[in-house]
Amino acid sequence: MRIALVGDYPPPFGGLSVHVRALERALRSRGADVRVLDIGKGDHYEPGRILRARGPVSFARELAAAAAWGYLLHVHTSGANPKSWLVALGASRARRPFAAHGVLTLHSGLSPAWLAGSGDRRGLARAACTGYGRVIAVNGDIAEAVMRCGVPADRIAVLPAFSPSQVVVGPLPPEAGAFRRQRAPLFAAALAPGPTYGEDLLDEAFAVVREREPRAGLVAFGPCSAGGPLARRGLAGGVLALGEIPNEEALATMAAADVFVRPTRADGDAVSVREALTFGRPVVASAVGHRPPGCLLFPVGDARALAAQMIAATRLPRDPAPLVPRKDPVDTLWAIYAALGRASPVGRGPAAHAQHASSRP
């Protein structure tokens, strides 16, 4: 099986890019021939494995090469802005005649609101989705939004962007280890730029928690965690801001904490929430997007309710049984790839003509 994953690749680290890397590893472990077309800011290159595809020229070149060599394209994008859908539209056209149609995964919880904004947006999404054999939404709200664009329901699947088999824990950052020994209870949170991720809510809620639990600590990581209002509280205020760290270290930080917090105002199906649940950690999350069983929910934007649930979470058992899917979602995805391949009359072998060296498998 040959699969070309199109999307962001870490670093920088984020839910979508972390999933693309994890999916790459999971597919390789099943024996697939996988290449990644990196369209993100990292601009990574590793011959035969990760190819630069940022910018129209590189994107078109690598799409054409992947199609010519018979790779099934699987595109990962947010679905929440014009560029995202133009990427999906362009990739949907990269296919040999009669070859298998690819797969499109939509990740962002902001995509339903964006698609509802105008008929032109829904028309663009419909045109993009037409070129895919299967459209995967990470939650039901996204699936319904795509159906309202005119995409047939039988072409849409709801599937988490997560594989528990690929949760790889690295070393705990030394400063986090020292902080862990000084603080209890310890909360952890992943933060990203913009109001969507709710750092302001967490800042207000944590102040309330500290009134009840003076020794409470909060360790924050992510691209904006080192310069926001939480970071300004500093160690004296019970906050350790790690900045952006590798996913393996972020996982170790989650595992060392007592509670993981996800205060977002919009969400798809957060990878970080599922990661925390695999460690058996209580998760406090906003009631938005899809939340797996085992989360303590609070109304979106309600800092007082968030604080109450944070305190309630500290009363739960420290190490309950990990809450992981009975079936790895990658198994379902593998079956989708296989079905699309069987539906195509074209063989999977490489094209007869040579490709440039950087694009060869």
pLDDT at position 359, please?
A: 42
Is residue 221 included in any domain, yes or no?
Answer: yes
Q: Please name the residue that has the structure tokens 């528990």.
A: 164
pLDDT at position 294, please?
A: 85
Is residue 40 included in any domain, yes or no?
Answer: yes
Amino acid at 299: P
- What's the total number of domains in the chain? 2
pLDDT at position 354, please?
A: 35
Let me know whether 281 and 338 are in one domain.
no
pLDDT at position 206, please?
A: 98
Tens of pLDDT, residues 100-152: 899 999 999 999 999 999 999 999 999 999 999 999 999 999 999 999 999 99
pLDDT at position 327, please?
A: 80
> Would you state the structure tokens that stand for residue 8, as one six-digit string?
């962001």
Cα separation, 17 vs 234, whole angstroms: 29
Q: Is residue 217 within 8 Å of residue 239, measured between CB atoms? A: yes
Let me know whether 214 and 147 are in one domain.
no
Cα separation, 12 vs 16, whole angstroms: 10
Range of the domain at 94: 2-163+328-359
Cα separation, 59 vs 258, whole angstroms: 43
Contact residues for 266 (Cβ-Cβ < 8 A; gap 6+): 108, 109, 110, 113, 196, 288, 289
Let me know whether 28 and 60 are in one domain.
yes
What CATH number is given to the structural domain containing 90? 3.40.50.2000
Let me know whether 132 and 180 are in one domain.
no
Is residue 168 included in any domain, yes or no?
Answer: no
Let me know whether 182 and 128 are in one domain.
no
Which segments of the chain have a pLDDT < 50?
Answer: 347-361
pLDDT at position 284, please?
A: 98
pLDDT at position 319, please?
A: 57
Instruction: Indicate left, alpha or beta for 84 from its phi (over 0: left) and psi (-120 to 50: alpha).
Output: alpha
pLDDT at position 164, please?
A: 87
Write down the mean pLDDT value for the chain.
91
Is residue 322 included in any domain, yes or no?
Answer: no
293 secondary structure, DSSP code? T
Cα separation, 78 vs 22, whole angstroms: 17
Let me know whether 34 and 120 are in one domain.
yes
Is residue 319 included in any domain, yes or no?
Answer: no
Let me know whether 199 and 306 are in one domain.
yes
Q: Any idea how long the chain is?
A: 361
pLDDT at position 326, please?
A: 64
